[in-house]
Amino acid sequence: MILRRFRTIAALLACALPALASSKPTADETFLRAAEAYRAGDPVRLQRFAAQVGSGHLLAPYLEYWRLKLRMEDGPEPELRAFLDREGGSYLADRLRADWLKLLGKRADWASFERELPQLIVDDLEIRCYAWLARLAREDGSASEEARAIWLEPRELPEGCHALANRLSENGAYSVEDVWRRVRLLVAHGQASAARRALAHLPAAEKHDEALFSQAMTGPTRLLAHPPRQLEKRATREMVVLALLRLARSDPEAAVEMLQGKLGMRLPEADQKYLWGRAAYEGARRLNPEASAWFALADVAALDDEQLAWKARAALRAADWQAVRDAVDRMSAGARQDPAWSYWYGRALGAQGAVEGARAYYLRISGQPNFYGLLAAEELGGMAGVPEPYHAPTQGELEAVRLDAGLARALELYRLDLRREATREWVFAIRSMDDAQLLAAAELARRAGIYDRAINTADRTAHQHNYKVRYLAPFKEVFDEQARSTGLEEAWVLGLVRQESRFIANAKSSAGARGLMQLMPATARFVAKRSGLREYHPSKVTEVSLNVALGTGYLKMVLDELGHPLLASAAYNAGPGRARRWRGAQALEGAIYAETIPFNETRDYVKKVMANTMYYAQLIGGKLVPLKERLGLIPAKAAGERSSEELP
């Protein structure tokens, strides 16, 4: 009996051993568990999993970097130096050096900081601030003037830059006027917390009323309805200015009404002009036709590049070509180099009869592979083509990039779906490559199915190009089938997908959009229901055929509702209701509609989708239609038409 039971147990164990052996985690699983331990800040678990992976693993440097990063506060300097020496020139070495420099700056260990700084490759604002502090510590007077530039960053500053600002303030580098200028800038950009921090730099005699400031930030309308009786004191008057800035961001028309009333008259002329500039900017971004008139009441010399850009856009919608020129003329040299403003300045000159002047501006950008480069070529009487020949890498060039350690690590990280780390590694590895190396790296990514890296890498070439890789069309049979079934232009669909996901099938945005066509869950569900797909389940949404079917189905619905591919492109990114509201009271040239889209992301998106469409049409043998003709005219808003978001 006992012997029979023993045999039974032995048999069960024999059966269980293979199952136990198969349950042992693979090297991939162990590495991913190590990555999770790092993200959780657990050095003990990280060390255990790292030991299981082993030092011979291709990604072993990541395990070591993670371990050192978690222990950096303990100061294992010999280990840090050993890693930096061993991995010198790599992405991880540069990242660890940046981490270490920030720690050295925080500790004010300037000798060690300045010894390590020259070897840093990637620029970092906080490290720049610590570098200025290091120079100030050894009484380098020029650092103070150089560092003033950070004072006008319209955002919360990193810790090292706050330390620098405090030091400069203690040294008397900032006047009262400088402090108020920064506070206004931050409030104008919606950075109330950063503005409160900047106010701490005011001298005691100029201190503000904290209760008034809180009211200006949280209830500007209440403060403006019952403003302080005395506005002679700067700190009190500024609270009214800040309240008007806050109001202008949410309701520029209400801010304008205040400026035109008794309260506005109580402010100094300089403050009034400043506020008119901000109200005009906010009004222009909301496509208010009165914005151009508001800009006329501002101090044009005080407008920044972003305000001038919207002054120009307001003028475009009003067909005021002289105002377009005036706005562009006032921009900084760097801003004027933007292809948009070269093109529109040329158009303004042409509209005013200066044909040769217009031609000179078009020649500046004609040939550039972008929306305005294509339009400029058409203004010159041509139509931009796809550059040939298509330079393909040699076998030797492919072998050379395949041996690049950074690219190898990136490919392995992509295989493990650690896309953030992989992309950073890849971008670092290709940063100094020439055209031949870039095209070889792009081909390496294409063969691995990492289409976003293939496209973005090929997109960086300056002289040798391969537009078949820049404008890849994987899964073409799927797009071809869906374009035929929906009646959509295949080149347009490909152009949109290139912008949405770069053809990464499992792409997921921070907002939750999924797949090649970046479908939001509600949109996918809506289209599936309308299309009668009873078997639809959210877990299947990244399947290529289903994702493209749902995405093109939605795009077709939007196109049918709005009637124009430019509007449909805008709607795909920002919603049909917004795309309709962005039209004018009069018909608008398509290029003007695109340039005056209020959302920066959508404006850039629409231009790129339309430019992509042009290139895909040539590459896949589609219909060759000039971009200007594709853009056409956007019809005016109809009186009383609905503007709600009918589609998700």
Which DSSP string do the residues of 403-456 spell out, in sequence order? T-HHHHHHHHHHHTT-HHHHHHHHHHHTTT--HHHHHHHHHHHHHTT-HHHHHH
CA distance 454 to 447: 9
Mean pLDDT of 115-128: 96
476-634 fold? Lysozyme (1.10.530)
- The predicted-structure confidence for 227-260, as pLDDT tens digits, reads as follows 999 999 999 999 999 999 999 999 999 999 999 9
Q: What is the CATH number of domain 395-465?
A: 1.10.1240
The token duo for 104 is: 């050295």
Residue 346 main-chain phi, psi, to 5 deg = -60, -45
Radius of gyration from C-alpha coordinates of the chain: 30
DSSP secondary-structure letter at 538?
A: G
Quickly tell me which residue has 């609270």 as its tokens: 239
How far does CA 159 lie from the centroid of its chain?
A: 23
Quickly tell me which residue has 């400031």 as its tokens: 213
Mean pLDDT of 586-594: 97
CA distance 36 to 416: 13
Residue type at 427 in one-letter notation: V
Which of the four pLDDT bands, split at 50, 70 and 90, describes residue 642?
A: low
pTM of the model: 0.93
pLDDT of residue 21: 45
Residue 553 C-beta-side C-alpha neighbours within 13 Å: 19
Work out the number of other CB atoms within 10 angstroms of the CB of residue 107.
Answer: 11
The token duo for 429 is: 């590895």
174 CB-near residues (< 8 Å, 6+ apart): 151, 165, 168, 201
Cis peptide before 18 (omega within 30 of 0): no
pLDDT of residue 23: 66
Question: Which of 466, 444, 388, 452 is CA-nearest to residue 419?
Answer: 452
DSSP H or E run through 66:
helix 60-71
pLDDT of residue 641: 63
CA distance 301 to 304: 8
DSSP H or E run through 634:
strand 633-634
Mean pLDDT of 35-61: 96
Query: Considering Cα of 293, then 295, then 296, then 297, what sign does the dihedral take?
Result: positive
Region of 640 please: left (phi>0), alpha (psi -120 to 50) or beta.
left
Give the CA dihedral 546, 547, 548, 550, nearest 10 degrees: 80
CA distance 519 to 416: 24
352 CB-near residues (< 8 Å, 6+ apart): 321, 322
Which of the four pLDDT bands, split at 50, 70 and 90, describes residue 6?
A: very low
The domains spanning 395-465 and 476-634 adopt the same CATH topology = no
CA distance 592 to 595: 5
Is the pLDDT at 8 greater than 90? The verdict is no
pLDDT of residue 534: 81
Query: Which is higher by pLDDT, 648 or 636?
Result: 636
Is the pLDDT at 560 greater than 90? The verdict is yes
Cβ–Cβ < 8 Å for 248, 277: no
The answer to whether residue 500 is catalytic is: yes
- The predicted-structure confidence for 75-90, as pLDDT tens digits, reads as follows 789 999 999 999 999 9
DSSP secondary-structure letter at 87?
A: T
CA distance 514 to 620: 26
The token duo for 291 is: 């914005």
CA distance 25 to 469: 38
pLDDT of residue 622: 75
Mean pLDDT of 384-404: 94
- The predicted-structure confidence for 179-199, as pLDDT tens digits, reads as follows 999 999 999 999 999 999 999
Query: CA-based angle 403:406:407, to the nearest 5?
Result: 65
pLDDT of residue 141: 84
Which of the four pLDDT bands, split at 50, 70 and 90, describes residue 638?
A: confident
In sequence order, what are the beta bridge partners of 514? 508, 519
Which of the four pLDDT bands, split at 50, 70 and 90, describes residue 647?
A: low
What is the chain's mean pLDDT, rounded?
93
The token duo for 121 is: 């490759």
- β-strand pairing of 633-634 with 588-589: antiparallel
How far does CA 7 lie from the centroid of its chain?
A: 67
- The predicted-structure confidence for 443-497, as pLDDT tens digits, reads as follows 999 999 999 999 999 999 999 999 999 999 999 999 999 999 999 999 999 999 9
Cβ–Cβ < 8 Å for 362, 346: yes
Q: Catalytic: which of 87, 412, 500, 595?
A: 500
pLDDT of residue 644: 45
Residue 588 main-chain phi, psi, to 5 deg = -120, 140
Mean pLDDT of 488-510: 96
Listed by start position, the domains of the chain span 25-137, 141-207, 210-303, 395-465, 476-634
Report CA-CA distances (Å) from 547 to 474, 475, 511, 515, 565: 14, 12, 17, 6, 20
The token duo for 367 is: 């040939």
Cis peptide before 389 (omega within 30 of 0): yes
Which of the four pLDDT bands, split at 50, 70 and 90, describes residue 25?
A: confident
Cβ–Cβ < 8 Å for 486, 553: yes
Cβ–Cβ < 8 Å for 554, 496: no
Cβ–Cβ < 8 Å for 93, 81: no
Is the pLDDT at 643 greater than 60? The verdict is no
